[in-house]
Structure 1
Amino acid sequence: MLALLSSLLLWSVFPFCSGGRYRRSAEWGADLAPGPYCASRGQPQCCTGRDDKCSVEVLGSLCYCDSFCTRTAEDCCPDYDVTCMGIAPVTKAGCRFNDHEYKPGETLRENCNVCTCKLVQPGRYDWMCSKNTCLIDSDRLNQSAEVFGWKTANYTRFWNLTFTQGINEHVGIETESRAKNMSSLHSYSRDQLPIHFDARINWTSWIHPVRDQKNCASSWAFSTVDVAADRLAIESEGLLTNQLSPQHLVSCNTGRGQRGCRGGSTEKAWWFVKRRGIITEECYPYTASDGECLDGETTCPNANSSTAKIVLYVTPPYRVRQDEEDIKAEIYRNGPVQATFRVSSDFFMYRSGVYRHTGADLGESRLSVRIIGWGERTNKKGKKRKYWICLNSWGTKWGEKGAFRIVRGENHLGIEENVLAVHADLIRSLSIHPSDRIRDQGLINIYTNKQIVVIKRPRPTEQP
């Protein structure tokens, strides 16, 4: 009887035996004595194949440290994964970030990337993140001033945006430009030009301020109308100083591949202004959206406009030769010019200084800006650094109050290869101006004989 009880007790303690290996019906309990187990073995701590001698006593039985136990997980020693497989034990399924616990499958945003809490290997959870290039690169924020020679800033409007989103929403020039195929019409003698020149100082009240295109890829429209407005003011000697409407171009210059807030061509914009004219910002306010074209014959889209509809015109665009001195002479004699250049992700972080591309991601799309002057500065090593002064259309809270300086004389990022300019078509603009004083005084100034000349109102131009 005693022998029978002993036999039954043995089977109750060891319910499953096969080949001398103990198979637990459940995981080791919380009352398990602290290890180490496999780690306490002499070499080898872990064995290959099935080796029943590769074991450690635990709770009066054996646990195993050979690779065969991966097929019968119940008989592995508690520290098998750590010691033999190099897998950290999981005490809790999930991830942690900034002292906050996240469950498997939960997500968070890290700048422009989305991270998901996932099981990355048996027994370990971690964050798996997308790998987008962000407009605001945290690693570069504190480097540029010393390493690159210009300062950076963390702009709230660009945080969380990818480089692709930045290009799509804030740049807007098609990659293929016909400007480089245009003949250069102006080549200047090497006149002595000043070392520093800023059109805002030379023509104080005639250079129009920086504006904000917002989340609309309309730099092509802003640079076009602002260069036109600057030159109309300069050539009319202050008679025509109206701020012109980029919305007129965004909404109405929609043929031949022009895409409004998704980008456009500066050359096609200039031909639109030459043929149909451009109206004022007051008459056609900017909305940062495509919108239906509201260009009426006599009335303004803005019903609250206090002035009658004014239409201003320019001559066909011409290309300034890709030469530093020619570009300087054109600005010095006639006013700001229009230029485009390839945009890098680091440009969105520009705060001040002379910008040079730092090796960050470089896109094919181009940004269109006004070049209004030039200058040079000497660094601590005594080396001169020449630069262009440019006006962007990202508002006055970006850069140097909306302006930026960029390396001059190297065609850096292509800024000197597609420089365009126009002249004001004063006769056409003034002859239909609603103000008698401005119209008559302007026409007197145009003609060298200083006689009042009566000009008939021109016929409406053809619709493109």
Structure 2
Amino acid sequence: MGRVYYIYLLLLIIFYFGEVISERRLMVNLYSSEENKISESSRAKRSLDKKNYCTTNGCCDSRNDDCNLFYIGKNATCYCDTFCDQAPIGHVDCCPDFWITCLGQNLEDPSTTILPSTSFPASTGCYKDGSYYQDKSIQKDNCNYCYCHENHWKCTDHTCLVEPELIHFINKGNFGWKADNYTQFWGMTLNEGFEYRLGTKPPSPSLLSMNEMAHRVSPDEEFPLFFIASYKWPDYIHRPLDQRNCAASWAFSTASVAADRVAIHSEGRHTSNLSPQDLISCNVHNQNGCRGGHVDGAWWFLRKRGLVSHQCSPYEMNDYTNRYNICNISSITDKHGKSHATKPCPNRLEDSNYLYQCSPPYRIPSTEREIMKEIMENGPVQAVMTVYKDFFLYKTGIYKYTGRSENNPGSDGTHSVKIVGWGSLQNMERFWIVANSWGNTWGEHGYFRIARGKNECGIERLIIGAWCHILA
């Protein structure tokens, strides 16, 4: 009888250990059978990865779909919430360190229990991109702000100047140009882009009614397929400056066109770039500095008073809060109409405070060939154009408006630029070469190409030139 009892006891012990082994295998094989076939090198990599999921980013109570990370071993999303292991075995979607970090369970030795190294956060708070934020936290996402309130994010809903979806749409489409994300625009709203990065007031009726010069192009006159002013006049054409968040394209384009024409018309005796800062700070009659201005007012100022060089009065506006710089240049006019500065340069390292003046501006006929002739004979011209939201994203190619703003009222603005030449592709697609004022990291080193002969974005509607002679 005693022998039977011992045999029964031995069978019971064997059965018990079998259950323990079975349970251990069950815990170890929570993931699918496909994952158990990963090579030993992958297993080693995964063992290193186990320390970098829930341990780093925290655990979540109940179900929280935002409490996720990218699991390298499975090339999929894994979770650190307590809902993640509720699915049938082989289909759980917990991160590999969930059990030991969040539950204190050692899957390789189920009989061992340790305290979780990461406790669940308080019931209030929010998760974003796998990270936990306390209640009342504020996070910025591009141009929008999100406020954590009782486990939920409340976010503003502004249209951003840089939209990744629009960049993807342009680059996947057949528009003839490519878009890019610019760090100087990231975080700005679309309205801020129009308010701070343009700045030219729409042309007044009197400006649009200005008489055009008589047509000078004969029907049989030929033009080169490609022309750029800097090839014909080396060292006379000035590269684009960066207006930054100062809405003063009216000043930058005027000063740049005038500087090029002073150098050309003086045959290289005066090649200094002219100061947009001088226009912004001193041309205050019906102008608003970094809050916008009129191109005809800028040319009137160039005629009556003139501008000092960029070296004499460098650009100082670092952002749109710096709007009210005092005019540091005063002048008198002699009997011949020549202006003379009465104060030294704001930049004490520059001695010359010479004031450069131009004749009254004139309007070039809005035809492709007349504009080409003017550029080729007298130098770059000023153009006023409409800017849509996709233009801010331009990187390279021949710009044409994609049409993505048609149903959004107020999603365009007025900008002024400098046309320096033209060209054609092998498929005979024609374009203008234009200098912008957003620095040399934007577009094609500060320039852009835009469709020619089609009045794209109204760029051929108002073309302005001036004779910038030098008075003794």
TM-score by length of structure 2 reads 0.66
Deviations 1:401-430 (A, max 9, x none): 10001111111111111111101133x2xx
In the alignment, is residue 165 of structure 1 matched against residue 196 of structure 2?
no
Cα offset, 1:385, TM superposition: 2.2
Where does residue 212 of structure 2 map in the other structure?
A: 184
Of 375, 382, 385, the residue aligned with 2:429 is 385
Of 239, 249, 259, the residue aligned with 2:288 is 259
RMSD: 1.9
| Counterpart residue type for residue 193 of structure 2 | G
Of 416, 420, 423, the residue aligned with 1:372 is 420
Q: Does the 8 Å CA contact 1:282/1:302 hold for their aligned counterparts?
A: no
Of 258, 277, 291, the residue aligned with 1:228 is 258
Of 318, 321, 328, the residue aligned with 1:294 is 328
Query: What aligned pairs does 1:218-367 form with structure 2 within 5 A after superposition?
Result: 218-256=248-286, 258-288=287-317, 289=322, 290-296=324-330, 297-361=341-405, 363-367=411-415
Q: 1:347 to 1:325 in 2, by over 3 A?
A: same
Secondary structure of the structure 2 residue equivalent to 1:260: coil
| Counterpart residue type for residue 226 of structure 1 | S
Query: What aligned pairs does 1:425-440 form with structure 2 within 5 A after superposition?
Result: 425-426=469-470, 428=471, 431=472
Deviations 1:313-355 (A, max 9, x none): 1110111111111111111111100011111122111111111
Question: Structure 1: any 5+ residue segments left out of the alignment?
Answer: 1-90, 120-124, 432-464
Q: Does the 8 Å CA contact 2:314/2:347 hold for their aligned counterparts?
A: no
Where does residue 106 of structure 1 map in the other structure?
A: 137
Deviations 1:231-272 (A, max 9, x none): 11111111111111111100010012x000111001100001
Where does residue 96 of structure 1 map in the other structure?
A: 127
Where does residue 137 of structure 1 map in the other structure?
A: 163
Q: 1:93 to 1:276 in 2, by over 3 A?
A: same
Q: Does the 8 Å CA contact 2:227/2:421 hold for their aligned counterparts?
A: yes
Separation in 2, partners of 1:255, 1:181: 21
Q: Does the 8 Å CA contact 2:160/2:187 hold for their aligned counterparts?
A: yes
Higher Cα radius of gyration: 1
In the alignment, is residue 408 of structure 1 matched against residue 442 of structure 2?
no
Query: What aligned pairs does 1:6-21 form with structure 2 within 5 A after superposition?
Result: none
Q: Does the 8 Å CA contact 2:328/2:346 hold for their aligned counterparts?
A: no
Q: Does the 8 Å CA contact 1:374/1:389 hold for their aligned counterparts?
A: yes
Secondary structure of the structure 1 residue equivalent to 2:140: strand
Q: Does the 8 Å CA contact 1:218/1:261 hold for their aligned counterparts?
A: yes
Separation in 1, partners of 2:282, 2:148: 48
In the alignment, is residue 212 of structure 1 matched against residue 254 of structure 2?
no
TM-score by length of structure 1 reads 0.67
Where does residue 460 of structure 1 map in the other structure?
A: none
Where does residue 197 of structure 1 map in the other structure?
A: 227
Query: What aligned pairs does 1:412-423 form with structure 2 within 5 A after superposition?
Result: 412-423=456-467
| Counterpart residue type for residue 133 of structure 2 | Y
Separation in 1, partners of 2:234, 2:214: 25
Cα offset, 1:200, TM superposition: 1.4
| Counterpart residue type for residue 231 of structure 2 | I
Secondary structure of the structure 2 residue equivalent to 1:311: coil
Deviations 1:365-391 (A, max 9, x none): 21111000111224xxxx532111000
Larger deviation: 312-321 or 125-134? Answer: 125-134
Question: Structure 2: any 5+ residue segments left out of the alignment?
Answer: 1-121, 331-340
Secondary structure of the structure 1 residue equivalent to 2:429: strand
Secondary structure of the structure 2 residue equivalent to 1:351: strand
Cα offset, 1:92, TM superposition: 5.0
Separation in 2, partners of 1:243, 1:159: 30
Q: Does the 8 Å CA contact 1:179/1:319 hold for their aligned counterparts?
A: no
Separation in 2, partners of 1:342, 1:105: 42
| Counterpart residue type for residue 272 of structure 1 | F
Percent sequence identity is 39
Secondary structure of the structure 2 residue equivalent to 1:233: helix
| Counterpart residue type for residue 411 of structure 2 | G
Larger deviation: 197-206 or 260-269? Answer: 197-206
Secondary structure of the structure 2 residue equivalent to 1:312: coil
Deviations 1:108-158 (A, max 9, x none): 211111223457xxxxx5434322221111112233234122112211111
Separation in 1, partners of 2:291, 2:308: 22
Q: Does the 8 Å CA contact 1:342/1:363 hold for their aligned counterparts?
A: no
Separation in 1, partners of 2:214, 2:375: 12
Q: Does the 8 Å CA contact 1:95/1:126 hold for their aligned counterparts?
A: yes
Where does residue 82 of structure 1 map in the other structure?
A: none
Separation in 2, partners of 1:401, 1:373: 15
Separation in 1, partners of 2:171, 2:344: 48
Query: What aligned pairs does 1:43-82 form with structure 2 within 5 A after superposition?
Result: none
